[in-house]
Structure 1
Amino acid sequence: MKIIICGAGKVGTTIATHLVHQGSDVTVIDSSHKLIEDLREKVDLKTIIGSASNPSVLKNAGAEDSDMIIAVTLQDEINMVACQMAHTFFKIPRKIARLRTEDFLNPIWRDLYNADNMPIDLIISPELEVARSIERQLKAPGAYDVVPFLNDEIELLSLVINDKCPLVDTSLINIHELFQENTDTDKNLRASILGISRDEKLFIPKKQDVLTQDDHVYILVDKNHVKRAMSAFGYDEKPIKKIIIIGGGNIGFNLAKDLEKYQSDISVSIVENNEDRSKYIADQLSNTLVLNGDGLDQDLLDEANIKDADLLLALTNDDETNIIISAVARKNKCESIIIVNNSEYNKLKDVLGISKVVDPRKITVSKILKHIHKGKIESVFSIDNNQAEIIHAQVLKSSKLINKSIEDAELPNGLRIGLIKKQGKIIIPEKDTKIDVNDEILFLCMSEDIKKAEELFQVRNEY
């Protein structure tokens, strides 16, 4: 696949690295000489220095025969114009743009983004995606992330194995037997461990591998069994009832708005330093307490009733401020989730005593990569710094997997099937499970084996 990426910042560089690793033909455009030079040192690909909104620059990047353009520069207007140029002059089939300005994302302008006006096929808003990611975590306290699949019938849980986990030092084969010990299969726990990240290295575990403390595990679970699965891994946290948000920017505001709409049982307070912004969000929200002031002011936190809060969310635009807020949360015996844009801080979270870290770059990249695949790949979620993807695919009549058991399917070493929806029922597959037409399969695939996975599912040449 031939792809043009506009923007060589953190998001553009991460996407380019991932796609080149998968074998795509990638060209990156950026007006910054330094960013382009830094990228060239990391990845072997074609680069062009110039404005992505300039048609001649797009032409030099190979737009005339490109399959996709991904516009992730820091300027919304450049991203929008780049997609317009790609459509009008070069007929590029697929156009993705990152937009951050609230007004551009307002639902009243949704008709703007079509082939007759502003031809953008997919709009990615980092702030909205981060807010949704945090909202998912609130539904499963203790999980690092909760990602829905198969129309919300299945969820991917990202958990850290701590000292309270009763499964520490237990092999996967024994865990599987524990989950499936009931003779009534409908009562068994429908959960499958797909991957383990240990010392920042992701791997697909074998039956004899054991869980160790501090492992980061990825588990696919039937949505109806999420609480049972969390309990099995030692997470019996009480439901979140009260949160305090420090920072009323786009992320904090959108999170509060969604919580009012979808999770009205959670009490929300926002502390925002800017007086005008405080007034604006107070006018827009109906059931949220909005306080104007410094999120590090203990008196203000007492006014927000931090002693009864289940969670403090540090969502300001400053990493260092968010880290200090996490320390304030610890002082007040309150759990915290913080946003950190500098990945180096993410590596130091244990040293700094930070409970949970949300990385907007990773969330944005994962959302974009979800839309790169062709054909009957229904949804994708990139994990562990893009070392692998969790994929939901439907089995077509032309698939090489039809009528084969998992044991005989000759799956790549870097692919592990977790759950299958067969004839309306979610099952944990065994090695003798036969794959049929229209089966919905959820699996983990290491980055280097993505193309093999697409071939197995006989992916059609369409988006």
Structure 2
Amino acid sequence: MKVIICGAGQVGWQIARHLSGERNDVTVVDNNADLVRRATDSLDVQGIAGFASYPDILERAGARDADMIIAATYSDEVNMVTCQVAHSVFSIPRKIARLRSQSYLTAIYSDLYRRDHMPIDVVISPEREVAEAALQRLSAPEAFDTEVFLDGKAQMLGLTIDEDCPVVNTPLRQLTDLFSTLRSVVVGVRRQGTLFAPEASDQLFVGDACYVIVHAEDIRRTMEIFGKAYRKQERIVLVGGGNVGLTVARELEKRADRVRTKVIERDRAIAERAAEALERTIVLHGDGLDAALLSEANVERADAVLCVTDDDKTNMLAAVRAKAAGCHMAIALINDPTLVPLMGPLGIDAHINPRATTVSSILRHIRHGRVRAVYSIGDAEAEMIEAEVLSTSPIAGLSIREIDFPEGVLVGAVLKQGHVVKLSGALRIEEGDLIVLFALTKDVAEVERLLQVSIDFF
């Protein structure tokens, strides 16, 4: 597959890293020559320095025979024009654009993206993706990472193993024996900075960070088994009332179980806009780092504080201050991955990586065939892949123990005829089943081969 990626920032670079690692023909375009050089030096990609929306630049990038273009520059307008040029001049069949401005995303203007208007096949909204990730974090507050699969019937939980964890130093195969009816599987473990797919004989040690796939009905029980108390979220403080904070507040207002939400926003105009858009949410104008204002928001009684301003350091400091005041749970939006290791020492419970959510969303639309969802774990170290099993797949008709998965791949969940079934080595994978797999990045290409997804190319 020949792909042109416009924009060599963090999102573009991560997408290029994924695709080039899977032997695709990738060309990166950016008007910043240094970013292009970084991509060509560190990845097996070609690079063109120039404005992505210019037809001659796209011509040099090989647009005449490209299969897909991904427009992920910092400008919405450049991304839109790039897709238009890709369609009108070069007839590139698949066009994906990242758009930030909410005005472009309003449902009543959705006709804008028809092929005879602005031909964009897939629109990715980072703010909406991040807001959804924030709501998922709140649904499992003791988890440091979460993602939903199988139409909400299964969920991935990232859980840290503490000293009071009941299953510490217990081989994973014994967990199956001890909790025979529990529908959950440990698919990944990060130990001393290294992520791996565990074997049945592996134990969980204090300090491990493990990724668990859980049936939606067994989330509370799984949390208890791993020593995490389930706490209902009734009072939430949002620091930041921009697009992300506003979207989260709106969704919280829609919930049937009443959630008391307060928003703190430093910019008066943005605070006034949020106050007008929200009905039951209290909006406070002021600095989220102001101890007096946090006290006015009753942060010490809050079940969670969610810091989603556009400044990483503000988010981290506000989360630290809220925790110091007595807030049970602090979640921070962090763009810079080099800041993530500071979370533990600072006592921040969980973080949201906007770039990872955007990368995951784009990958979902890039993957060949019947792939329904992709979630990128860590610094693109592994992926959770949800896909439909085709009749042409080598795994169709085989039991799980008969499938020759690479060492870095584990089955997390299987949906048969609308029901998530308990996993065992004897479980047979059949055509039409939905399967969720954990795969280290180096093994993703082999997973796609086993799913026989290339037959359904686009």
Cα distance in structure 2, aligned partners of 1:117 and 1:272: 37
Shift of 1:264: 5.2
Partner of 2:237: 244
2:368 pairs with 1:374: yes
1:367-422 deviation line (CA, Å, top 9, x unaligned):
11122111122222121222221112222222212322222222222221122222
Residue by residue, what CA displacement relative to the aligned partner does 1:256-286 show, whole Å, maximum 9, x if unpaired? 1111123552111011111111111100110
After superposition, residues 184-223 of structure 1 pair within 5 angstroms as 188-223=181-216
1:131-210 correspondence to structure 2 within 5 Å? 131-180=131-180, 188-210=181-203
Closer, same or farther: CA 125–398 of 1 in aligned 2, 3 Å:
same
Q: Which amino acid aligns with 1:52?
A: A
Tell me, yes or no, if structure 1 residue 458 matches structure 2 residue 452: yes
Q: Give deviations 1:28-55, integer Å, cap 9, x for gaps.
A: 0000112112222321310000111011
Question: Which letter maps to 2:242?
Answer: G
Query: Partners in 1 of 2:235 and 2:291 — Cα distance?
Result: 18
In the TM superposition, residue 100 of structure 1 has moved relative to its aligned partner by 0.8
- Partner of residue 435, structure 2: 441
- Equivalent position of 1:361 in the other structure: 355
Tell me by how many angstroms 1:99 deviates: 0.8
Is 1:329 matched with 2:315?
A: no
In structure 2, the CA distance between the partners of 1:264 and 1:273, relative to structure 1 (3 Å rule), is farther
**Identity across matched positions, percent:** 40
Q: 1:37 aligns to what?
A: 37
* Distance in 2 (alpha carbons) for counterparts of 1:263 and 1:43: 48
2:53 paired residue number: 53
Distance in 1 between residues matched to 2:451 and 2:208, nearest whole Å: 31
Q: Is the CA contact (8 Å cut-off) linking 1:327 and 1:353 kept in structure 2?
A: yes
Q: What's the CA shift for 1:64?
A: 1.5
**Distance in 2 between the 1:22 and 1:212 partners?**
33
**Residues 192 and 428 of structure 1 are in contact (CA less than 8 Å); yes or no, is this contact kept in structure 2?**
no
Amino acid at match of 2:156: L
Partner secondary structure for residue 152 of structure 2: coil
Letter of the structure 1 residue corresponding to residue 161 of structure 2: I
Report if the CA contact (8 A) 1:172-1:209 is conserved. Answer: yes
Q: TM-score, normalised by structure 1?
A: 0.95
Contact kept, 8 Å, 1:133 with 1:145, in 2: the verdict is: no
Cross-structure match for 1:271: 264
**2: distance between equivalents of 1:412 and 1:456?**
10
Question: Which residue is 1:106 aligned to?
Answer: 106
Residue type of the partner of 2:419? K
Distance in structure 1 (CA, Å) of the matches to 2:396 and 2:99 = 41
Alpha-carbon distance, 1:223 to partner:
0.9
Preserved CA contact (<8 Å) 2:301 2:326:
no
Range with greater deviation from structure 2 (341-350 or 71-80): 341-350
C-alpha distance in 1 between matches for 2:228 and 2:6:
42
| 3-state SS in 2 of match to 1:214 | coil
Contact 1:396–1:457 (8 Å) recurs in 2: yes
Which residue of structure 2 aligns with residue 383 of structure 1? 377
For the Cα contact (< 8 Å) 1:179–1:191, is it kept in 2?
Answer: no
Higher mean C-alpha deviation, range 431-440 or range 49-58: 431-440
CA contact (8 A) 1:71 1:79 kept: yes
2:247 matched to which residue of 1? 254
| Residue pair 2:143, 2:350 contacting (<8 A) in 1 also | no
Distance 1:298 1:203 in 2: 41
Which deviations, in whole Å up to 9, do the C-alpha atoms of 1:324-346 show, x marking residues without a partner?
A: 21221122011211112121111
* Distance of 1:392 and 1:352 partners within structure 2: 34
1:184 counterpart residue number: none
- Residue among 378, 382, 398 paired with 1:404: 398
SS in 2 for 1:337: strand
Match among 278, 297, 300 for residue 307 of structure 1: 300
Task: Write the deviation string for residues 228-274 of structure 1: whole angstroms up to 9, x where unpaired.
Answer: 11111111132111111111111111111111123552111011111
CA RMSD of aligned residues (A): 1.5
Amino acid at match of 1:127: E
Number of residues paired by the alignment? 456
* Residue equivalent to 2:93: 93
Query: 2:24 aligns to what?
Result: 24
Q: More deviation in 412-421 or 189-198?
A: 412-421
Any idea what the Cα deviations from partners look like across 1:196-232, whole Å, max 9, x if unmatched?
1222321110111111122121111111111111111
SS of 1:407 mapped into structure 2: helix
User: Residue by residue, what CA displacement relative to the aligned partner does 1:149-179 show, whole Å, maximum 9, x if unpaired?
Assistant: 1111111112222223111111111112222
C-alpha separation between the residues in 1 aligned to 2:449 and 2:347? 44
Contact 1:124 1:368 in 2 (8 A): yes
1:296 aligns with 2:294: no
The corresponding residue for 1:429 is 423
Q: Please give the per-residue CA displacement for 1:281-320, whole angstroms capped at 9, x wherever unaligned.
A: 1001101100111112222222212232111222111122
Query: What does residue 351 of structure 1 align with?
Result: 345
Q: Gaps spanning 5+ residues in structure 2: where?
A: none
SS at match of 2:322: helix
The answer to whether the 8 A contact 2:220-2:230 is kept is no
